[in-house]
Amino acid sequence: MITNQFRTARPETGRRERRRVRLGEHHLAGYLFIAPWLIGFFAFTFIPIAASLVLAFTNYNILSPLPHWIGVRNFERMFSHDPRYWVSVRQTFYFAFTSVPLKLAFALALAMLMTAPRRLVGVYRAAYYLPSIVGANVAVAVMWRQIFGTDGVVNAVLAAAGLPAHTSWLGNPATAVWTVIALAVWEFGSPMLIFLAGLKQIPAELYEAAAIDGAGVLARFTRVTFPLLTPIIFFNFVVQMIFGFTVFTSAFIISNGTGSPLDTLLFYPLYLYQKGFRDFEMGYAAAMAWVLLVVVALLTALIFKSSRYWVFYAQEEA
């Protein structure tokens, strides 16, 4: 009955709207309202992206007036004549595949602690979220340099504990990349908040039932929490992976823009920046950017594909 009413009502409103389109009134206001966004989108997003696709096939030193077409030579050079390119690829994968799982594990652990009804839990949540607000900017990266510097806090703590105080975390190729990973993990606030929301969704009855069946803490986590949380984990994983592949500021500041020591901090976006804005090889940098886009898109697709094997949606069974 109700649906019937709607069905009969619809065509009328539709007809009325179509008439307005023809008259062009009231839509004008709409277009005016979205004009700033449209202009912004075309001027600062769409056209630059299109331009960079063209530039990827050119040799363009920004000082010279015009780029010149060289076909796929940029890609050839990238894949077969540029040793530092592959170093940057390797280091980026290394960074993404260590920092993202660590960050998610951290975020989940903290989120679980935060769900417990404790006093001041709001303050704790805010405190743990704070690094995500201030994080990934220049000031934090500069601070990180201080913390891991030879006379920094980390060495001071180690010395106080009677442990060997390493001379230089940032200068040693074995440890430098881990300072950046630590910085990324430290910014676990936003996945933590999302986990918190997810944890709140899990019905308490399930835990009660599991407890009655004699499940311990570990069993409750592996049999209840984790499976019900997989959609959230999936979401966080995709988002953080994309962030991981685009890491720039921290590596740029910590290595002074060089990627040293031994190019261990030469992440893909940093190398891309060096090529474009330091060596002025804009065409090559644009080509690199497009390869990054394709690789990240493929990886995301892969994670999506894999999701049917491990992500569990409660509705499926209902």
Partner 1 sequence: MSNLGRREFLRIAGVAAAGAAAVRYAPGAPVLAQTPLTLRIMWWGSKNRHDRTIKVLEMYQAAHPGIKFTYEFTGFNDYWTRLATQAAGGNLPDIIQQDYARLVEWEGNRLMVPLDDFVKDGTIDLSRVPKVSIDGGRVNGKLYAINLGNNSQSILLDTDAFKRAGVPLPDQKWTWQDFEQIALAFRQKLGIFGAGYEFSDQQVWKSLYIARGQWVFSRDGRSLAVTDDGPFVEHLKMLLRMQKAEAIPSLQQEISEYHSNIEAQPIVQGKAAMSYQWSNQAVAEAAAAGKGRNYKLVHLPRPKGGKPSNYLKPSQFFSITSHSKHPKEAAAVIDYFTNSIEANRVLLAERGVPIAPKIQEALKPLLQPVELETIRYVARVQTDSSPLPPPDPEAFAAFQNNVFNPLVIGPVLLGKISPEEGAKVLRVEGNRVLAQKS
**257 counts as binding partner 1 under rule CB under 8 A:** yes
Residue 58 phi/psi, 5-degree rounding, is -125, 170
Q: Considering only residues 40, 48, 101, 173, which one is a binding residue for partner 1 as defined by CB under 8 A?
A: 173
CB closer to partner 1 out of 173 and 203: 173
Distances (CA, A) of 237 to 203, 275, 292: 23, 30, 18
Q: Which residues pair with 68 in a beta bridge?
A: 59
The CA distance from 224 to 206, in Å, is: 7
**168 counts as binding partner 1 under rule CB under 8 A:** yes
Q: With CB under 8 A, what is the number of residues at the site for partner 1?
A: 36
**92 counts as binding partner 1 under rule CB under 8 A:** no
Tell me the closest approach of the beta carbon of residue 175 to partner 1, in angstroms: 10
Tell me the closest approach of the beta carbon of residue 133 to partner 1, in angstroms: 13
Cβ atoms within 10 Å of 22's Cβ, excluding its own: 8
- According to DSSP H, which parts of 65-120 are helical? 73-80, 83-115
**62 counts as binding partner 1 under rule CB under 8 A:** yes
Q: Considering only residues 19, 81, 119, 200, which one is a binding residue for partner 1 as defined by CB under 8 A?
A: 81
**76 counts as binding partner 1 under rule CB under 8 A:** no
* Secondary structure letter of residue 42 according to DSSP: I
Say which residues have a Cβ less than 8 Å from residue 199's Cβ, sequence separation at least 6: 111, 112, 115, 225, 229
* 8 Å CB contact between 57 and 72: yes
Residue 64 corresponds to which amino acid?
S
Q: Considering only residues 17, 76, 213, 279, which one is a binding residue for partner 1 as defined by CB under 8 A?
A: 279
**280 counts as binding partner 1 under rule CB under 8 A:** yes
**171 counts as binding partner 1 under rule CB under 8 A:** yes
* 8 Å CB contact between 313 and 87: no
* 8 Å CB contact between 292 and 268: yes
- According to DSSP H, which parts of 116-216 are helical? 121-134, 138-147, 153-160, 173-186, 189-201, 204-212
Q: Considering only residues 65, 71, 117, 164, which one is a binding residue for partner 1 as defined by CB under 8 A?
A: 65
Q: Considering only residues 132, 172, 230, 249, which one is a binding residue for partner 1 as defined by CB under 8 A?
A: 172
Residue 10 corresponds to which amino acid?
R
Tell me the closest approach of the beta carbon of residue 150 to partner 1, in angstroms: 6
CB closer to partner 1 out of 243 and 252: 252
CB closer to partner 1 out of 47 and 113: 47
Tell me the closest approach of the beta carbon of residue 250 to partner 1, in angstroms: 15
**222 counts as binding partner 1 under rule CB under 8 A:** no
Residues in contact with partner 1 by CB under 8 A are 59, 62-65, 81, 83-84, 145, 148-150, 167-173, 176, 255-263, 266, 274, 277-281
